[in-house]
Chain A
Amino acid sequence: MIRRLASILVICLAPTAAAGERAPLRWGADAEGGAPYVFFDPQAPGGIAGFEVDLARALGRELGRPLQFCQYDFKRLMEGLERGDIDLAMNGLEVTEDRARRVRFSRPYYVFRLQWVRRRGDTRCPTLAACLERRGLVGTLENTSASRFLLSLGARTALYDSQVTPFEDLALARLDGVLVDLPIARTLVGSFPQLAAEDPPLPGRGFYAVALRKDDKPLARAVDEALAALVQKGELEAILQRWGLWDQGQEELWPPGLFAPERGRAPETGARVAAFRPVLSLPLLLRAAGVTVILAVASMALAVVVGTGVALGRVFGPRWLAGASLVYVEFFRGVPALLLLYLLYFGLPAAWRGVTGQDGMHISPFLTAVLGLGLVYGAYEAEIYRAALLAVPASQWEAAASLGLSWGQTLRYVVLPQALRTILPPSTTDFVALFKDTSLAGTITVVELAKQYQILSTSGASFAVLVQAGILTALLYLAMALPLGVLARRWERQLAPGG
């Protein structure tokens, strides 16, 4: 969410290098992506730090043009280049085939590997292989080579857009392991004493490189030369050493001939690990649609139960219960569902830890989403039910009372069937709204339909394919929502007196 907020504003901060004679280059990166790449650090000069910040300074010196940091949503960096918002993107961007089709990559400045992170003492998933075999849940960052690698292995995967969250979830045992780029693992595992990233990285590797506009050949050449110079002078090594990122693997960067600037295209070697084809398949969308349906139905079931209780409490309860019901409605109607999902997702385990002093509250993202959406829509339902209960004439209650029906019998046989007719149309509208709001669950790693499309849309597929997939996704939503309307109208007819 924070990243989304940040992406609304493209903020170009002060130059990170001493001003040269020529105009600064606009360097796009997402400081929300975090350490060790680029991250906000109030103590650091310019307010940002990271090994790429140091690299940007060095590059600026070599190029004779300072690099000016522009905060840009990581997922939109390619677009940012194409739109001309930024001149170059350097933000742990892996060289992949599909990205290379859209942008021009410089020679790489870092060789990365994928690192398996596990809970200490966990015997179920000590390695990725064991985890795959036992169908464990693996967390990773969306739209990375790790996510595509896991997808190609058919692993059960939870996708995150913030790099700290998967580590938190692994510590909470919501995940069985995390697979991320080595720099992230090295940087973050230190903050979680219960996690370990000591095993050797996975075989195979990929490259981080600077992305430039396809047609910006002169700048590409200049950047390649500058990087080669930094390699030769040992400055790149010094920067990587400083951030604890230097390893034997980085020597691959050394022979400048391998990435000769005059080749002017993406390094072929980069494709070896990172070239996973964009997956844009109907089965994936259909499965996500299934998740959406189950999520919507389960949330609505909870909302109906909660709404009924709250409405009954409000209309028939003693004063304190009516008051509590009112507070419930006002609270859950007033709080954005998205915020509530975050609160539940992060707050429940934290509260558990606070109360019991130990980790390990197992509540899956899916259940969290059901809980959050159910509670919010329960408030909406309660108001509908309350209005419907009050719409049943008082003489109906009197007639039932004069016949000796108990309160419960009156409710069950007389009042609720009549209220149901009033309830159905607005409730159906609510259900359709809930249906679409299930997309919020994507923010807490539930891969429902909208999230699946979002994942596909950032996988680097061509524009035409994206539009097709978008239309397909929209049609899937419609295909699920339309029958609801038909069903509701039929119920209405059936429940109408004399119908």
Chain B
Amino acid sequence: MVRIRVAELGKAFGGRWVLSGVSFAVEAGETLVVLGPSGGGKSTLLRCVAGLLPFEAGWVQVDRRVLRGGERVCRVWGGELGFIFQDFALFPHKRAWENVALAPRVVRRLPAKQARELAFSLLAKVGMAERAEAFPRELSGGERQRVAIARALAMEPSALLGDEITSALDPERKWEVVETLAKLKAEGLTMLLVTHEVALARRLADRVLLLAEGKVVEEGSPGELLDSPRTPELQRFLARAWEPTASGV
């Protein structure tokens, strides 16, 4: 069953097309990783899918709802798609559990006690139950990103979208976040992640898609794509990508 379908999506900034004819689908329970060089349009694509950026052409479907090019994107999905940001984007004035509980409380209108319980259980899921009372600035980068994951899950989304979620972290912290997502994936979570880190794709992806210069260049399983790249774009990307050895991620 398809969770997210993107068809012929096109996005222009000031008359210049940064995405054109992008099509793909994410199945329920699947993790699709979009790889590509910086400036290739990955983050723009993810924001268009998430309804954070309007786009000009094509359409995006999440479950039964469709967002078409040219439409206003103002909060179209209403929490259907959880989003994790490169810079975490936690609410700095709220404690970890309050960050998670906010949307259930004010959007889903859960009673305060129930929202709090939900927040604590989600924090437990990402291994952050003990730091629930901490403010974001008291947490390490990895801890913040795990809180952000819990927050993104708070609205019980159909899928989780991640934008370069490990880029701001040092290697050990990357591991911590990737393993958290691996655990959620094992529980059946659907994910669409964009990254330029090949190691993350290897660890989490069911399928990989290479986006370069605003177009889908190659698509396939991580094994076949990353080990035997067919297109010159992917070969160039992999040759430049820094990939740690087997000793770490």
Does A281 lie at the interface of the complex (its beta carbon under 8 Å from any beta carbon of B)?
no
- Give the secondary structure class of A's interface: helix
- Nearest first, the 3 closest Cβ-Cβ pairs linking A and B are A404-B79, A402-B83, A498-B135
**Nearest-neighbor residue (CB-CB) of B86 within chain A:** A395
A401-B52, A404-B78, A497-B136 in contact; A417/B93 too (CB < 8 A)?
yes
A399-B83, A403-B79 in contact; A413/B89 too (CB < 8 A)?
no
**Nearest-neighbor residue (CB-CB) of B157 within chain A:** A402
Does B91 lie at the interface of the complex (its beta carbon under 8 Å from any beta carbon of A)?
yes
Q: Which of A398, A406, A414, A421 contacts B91 (CB 8 A)?
A: A414
Does A121 lie at the interface of the complex (its beta carbon under 8 Å from any beta carbon of B)?
no
**Bound Cα distance from A399 to B86, whole angstroms:** 11
Does A409 lie at the interface of the complex (its beta carbon under 8 Å from any beta carbon of B)?
yes
CB-defined contacts of A406 to chain B, threshold 8 Å: 75, 107
CB-defined contacts of A497 to chain B, threshold 8 Å: 92-93, 135-137
**Bound Cα distance from A414 to B137, whole angstroms:** 16
Interface centre among A393, A404, A407, A421 (most CB of B within 10 A): A404
Does B82 lie at the interface of the complex (its beta carbon under 8 Å from any beta carbon of A)?
yes
A261: shortest Cβ distance to chain B, in Å? 81
**Bound Cα distance from A398 to B163, whole angstroms:** 12
Give the contact stretch, choosing among B148-156, B219-227, B236-244: B148-156
**Nearest-neighbor residue (CB-CB) of B134 within chain A:** A498
**In the complex the two chains form, is A401's CB within 8 Å of B75's CB?**
yes
Does A286 lie at the interface of the complex (its beta carbon under 8 Å from any beta carbon of B)?
no
**In the complex the two chains form, is B91's CB within 8 Å of A396's CB?**
yes
**In the complex the two chains form, is B107's CB within 8 Å of A402's CB?**
no
- Given A403-B154, A498-B135, 16 additional A-B pairs, CB 8 A: A395-B89, A396-B89, A396-B91, A398-B47, A398-B89, A399-B90, A402-B82, A404-B107, A404-B155, A407-B74, A413-B91, A414-B91, A495-B93, A497-B93, A497-B135, A497-B136
Does B184 lie at the interface of the complex (its beta carbon under 8 Å from any beta carbon of A)?
no
CB-defined contacts of A403 to chain B, threshold 8 Å: 79, 102-103, 107, 151-152, 154-155
CB-defined contacts of B137 to chain A, threshold 8 Å: 497-498
**In the complex the two chains form, is B89's CB within 8 Å of A399's CB?**
yes
Does B50 lie at the interface of the complex (its beta carbon under 8 Å from any beta carbon of A)?
yes
CB-defined contacts of B120 to chain A, threshold 8 Å: none
Query: Per-residue CB proximity of B50-74 to A under 8 Å, as 1/0?
Result: 1110000000000000000000001
Does B81 lie at the interface of the complex (its beta carbon under 8 Å from any beta carbon of A)?
yes
**Bound Cα distance from A406 to B82, whole angstroms:** 15
